[in-house]
Amino acid sequence: MPVYVALSKLTEEGSKTIKKNPERIKEVNSDIEAMGIKIVSQYALLGQFDFVTILEAPDNDTIVKMSVEIGSRGSVQLQTLPAVPADIISPSLENNRPKRKLKYLTQQRNIFEKKLFLEVFRIRRNNDPFPGMLCP
Give per-residue pLDDT as tens, 62-119: 999 999 999 999 999 999 999 988 777 665 555 555 555 566 677 777 777 777 766 6
Domains of the chain, each with CATH number or no CATH: 3-126 (3.30.70.920)
Rounded Cα distance between 134 and 6, Å, is 14
R_g (Cα) of the chain, nearest Å: 16
Q: Residue 18's pLDDT is what?
A: 93
pTM of this prediction exceeds 0.75 = no
How far apart, in Å, are the Cα atoms of 29 and each of 26, 42, 50, 131?
A: 5, 10, 15, 25
β-partners of residue 49 are none
Rounded Cα distance between 37 and 25, Å, is 15
Alpha helices in the chain (DSSP H): 12-20, 24-34, 60-71, 89-93, 102-126
CA–chain centroid gap for 118, Å, is: 15
